[in-house]
Amino acid sequence: MFHLHPATAWAAQVGAVPGGRRLEAALVARVNMRFDDTTARVDHREEWEAVYFPLGRQLDAASGRPVDYDARDFVREAPPGARFVLPDAPVGEAAFFRSAGEEIRRHLFRTRTAEVYRNRSLKLYSRIGETREAFGARCDDAAQAEADRATAKLKDRFADRIDRVGDVLRTAERRVQELETDREERSREEWLGGAGALLGTLLGGRGTTRGIAGRAARSMGALSARRSRTARTAERLETAVEKVTDKERELDELEAEMAEEIGAIDTEGSAKAGDIEAVTIPLELSDVTVDEIALVWVPKG
């Protein structure tokens, strides 16, 4: 049995009157609760303290007013001239306190829970007391890390394909350069060895018409052969250019495909990060322990 100290911070919650001589009975209780969940990796303990006032024949376990009390809030001696007002509750019987403790214990078992947040996609749970925003930031970091790993694998998968196409493209580009050079040289040869030579014969040389005609025929035959080779070179050049164009298009398509898949990974990561829901962790009756229950006399006037 205790008496409420007049300087107690929560005295006003029970209507205490400093210096009062009329004392009315109240009950204080301290309860330890353990919230545990293996899947969520939660093992959390809470201490709950409350005062019950006024007292009826039976304790109303739901009427407790949470307070933060300790031994300094109570004194053993009653104030001088104190008058005790006996409550309806049988405070002189030990059975009343046992029953009150059990009522409080069962009431807390039914009504008290702990809440955490769960992300099913990432298989993460928040810590007790961690805000949704803080847990969301942690989920976002985890989702980004997972997305980065997926993107690294994607890059590895595309790297070989891009390298192969790139090698073919570079070879094709070199072939185009070689064929362009070859075509230019053959074009010059055509002029110098064909039309250019014929003009030189006509304009600068001597001879009969028949002789000139013979030389012209031979010159035109050689020219035709050279033009045929130049045409084949041009065809090969056109084919090489088309190959370059095809490989450039293939590279573009590979890059577009990779970008699309990376975008899908990012979208999936964002969805995973946002997959947050509240989870309630209930108490087990065996995890609720009444550590203290005591009678306190409160000065009322």
- 8 Å CB contact between 21 and 88: no
Q: Domain limits of the chain?
A: 2-112+283-299, 134-278
78 Cα distance to chain centroid? 60
What is the arithmetic mean of pLDDT over 131-159?
A: 93
Asked if the model's pLDDT at residue 279 lies above 60, the reply is yes
- 3-state SS of the chain: helix, strand, coil percent to 5? 55, 20, 25
Tell me the C-alpha distance between 60 and 218, whole Å.
126
Tokens 């699309």 belong to 260
pLDDT confidence of residue 216: 53
**% of residues, the chain, pLDDT over 90:** 57
pLDDT confidence of residue 159: 79
- 8 Å CB contact between 117 and 135: yes
Q: What is the pLDDT of residues 54-81, one digit of tens each?
A: 998 889 999 999 999 999 999 999 988 9
Give the confidence band of 160 by pLDDT, cuts at 50, 70, 90.
confident
Grouping H, G, I as helix, E, B as strand and the rest as coil, residue 58 is: coil
Peptide bond into 54 cis (omega under 30): yes
Asked if the model's pLDDT at residue 246 lies above 50, the reply is yes
Asked if the model's pLDDT at residue 281 lies above 70, the reply is yes
Tell me how long the chain is: 301
Give the confidence band of 133 by pLDDT, cuts at 50, 70, 90.
very high
The angle subtended at Cα 127 by Cα 149 and Cα 108, nearest 5°, is: 150
pLDDT confidence of residue 122: 96
pLDDT confidence of residue 228: 57
What is the arithmetic mean of pLDDT over 82-109?
A: 95
Q: What is the pTM of this model?
A: 0.66
Give the confidence band of 168 by pLDDT, cuts at 50, 70, 90.
confident
Q: What is the pLDDT of residues 13-63, one digit of tens each?
A: 999 998 899 999 999 999 999 999 999 999 999 999 999 999 988 899 999
The angle subtended at Cα 141 by Cα 136 and Cα 145, nearest 5°, is: 145
Q: What is the pLDDT of residues 169-223, one digit of tens each?
A: 677 777 767 767 765 665 655 545 555 555 555 555 555 555 555 555 555 555 4
- 8 Å CB contact between 27 and 55: yes
